[in-house]
Structures are given as structure tokens and as C-alpha cells.
Homo-oligomer: A and B are copies of this chain.
Amino acid sequence: MNVETPIWRQVRAAIVAEIAAGEFPPGTPLPAEKLLAERFGCAIGTIRRATDGLVAEGALTRQQGRGTFVAGHTPERSFRFFHLRPADGRPLLPDTQFLDFARLKATPAQARALGLAPTAPLLRARHLQCLAGEPAMLEELWLPETLFPGLDGQRFAGRPGTVYDLYQREFGLSVTRIEEQLRAIAAPARIASRLGLAAASPVLMIERVAFAVDGKPVELRLAWADTTSLAYFNSRA
């Protein structure tokens, strides 16, 4: 009479909920598999089944002999979502130049993308990503103010690590999935000049929505990339 959801899914959901609730800050180990099995009243294999997906997504990392850890948004981890590389495919860490920070109202399209009420208050941060010292991509980050209480330009620009690391450490929002739309457009004048391009040069425009472990959208990001000597790398199995 088991038409219910499998135990491993229930366990997975429970663990995700605990992580999303901030019970295990990034870098801390989950209870050992044996303990989890006891706590949830199931077999160790079921615990593994439940965590396998999280490990594959990068939300957890397992280390033989040490434990299972909630993945922090180290540069390498965030890098999973950074697709811009030189033509040879060699991964290159970008460095970021902060531009400005503002508080605005959502447009209908933005509200829809983030699942918010129309004209909900948003925070907007803009910065420039540089690769090998050259301006590579201009980015606009749009954040629901309710999810990022008290965030301002100082705290944003003064963060130590990556943007997603900030979301996770300070607001308990762990980005694990993104959805992107890519288009080729003629660069608007303001953007072209920031990238050191002639006006109306073709640029790669990226529209991203980032989701937290629990599936909630937490960020809308618009980006304009100069792909004359770089490319957006994607690989699918």
C-alpha cells in the first residue's frame, strides 16, 4: 500500500529544508550517515540515495573518511556557473569591479521572472567582470529586497568572496541551480563603451534566474559579454 513518495525523497526534502533553514552553515559536516539513518529510522543506503542528487548538484560534497559537507560557495563552486572562457577552453577566474548599487521597483517582467508581486522592491547591483585584465562582461544583479534585508552597496562591494558566497553566508540562500537565456544583440551605447567596443557591436546577452536549494528564485541577472576573444562554454550529457 505504498503509493506515497519514496522514503529517500522524503529524507532528501528534509535535509534540503534543514540546509535552507541554515541549520548547517556552509562548510559544516552533516551528521554521519549512520546517525542520519538512525534519526530518520531508515537504512544507510536510503540516506545515500537521498544525498546522491545533492552531491551531484554540488550542494553537498562527500569525502571518504571525513564526512559529508554542506558546500560553501568557494570560487571553484561558483565557477560552475561561470561559462565565459578564452577560445582554448582553459578556465580562468574573473575578477570583479564594482560599479554601483541601487534600490528600485520591479518591472512586470522582472517580477514575473522572480515570482514576485508586480512593482515589488528590488536591489540592483552592477559590476564588471574582467578576464586576464580585460573587460569581459557587464552584469546587472536584481535581488528581491525581502530576501536580502539590510543589503547595501557597502556590504555588497566589501564582501570577501564571490557573490553567491555572500548570499549564502549572510542570507542563508544557497544557489544550486540556474536557468539562462542567451541572445546575440547589438550593444547599447552605454554597454559598448563599458566593454571598450564600438557602438552596436554584437554582444552576447545572458538573462539568468538563480534558484536556491529549496527551488526559490533568488536572483535575476542580466549580462552583456564581449565574445570577440571569449566564448560561452556549455556541455551537456
Contacts and interface: CB of A to CB of B under 8 A. Distances in A.
A186 B202 contact: yes
A186 B197 CA distance: 13
Interface in A150-167: none
A203 interface: yes
A181 B57 contact: no
Nearest to A89: B181
Given A57-B237, A237-B57, A237-B176, A232 B181 contact: yes
A179 interface: yes
How many copies the complex holds: the figure is 2
A52 to B, nearest CB: 9
A53 to B, nearest CB: 9
Nearest to A203: B184
A182 B80 contact: no
Interface of A: 56-58, 80-81, 87, 89, 176-186, 202-205, 207, 225, 227, 231-237
11 contacts: A177-B236, A178-B235, A178-B236, A179-B234, A180-B234, A180-B235, A182-B204, A183-B232, A184-B204, A202-B203, A234-B234
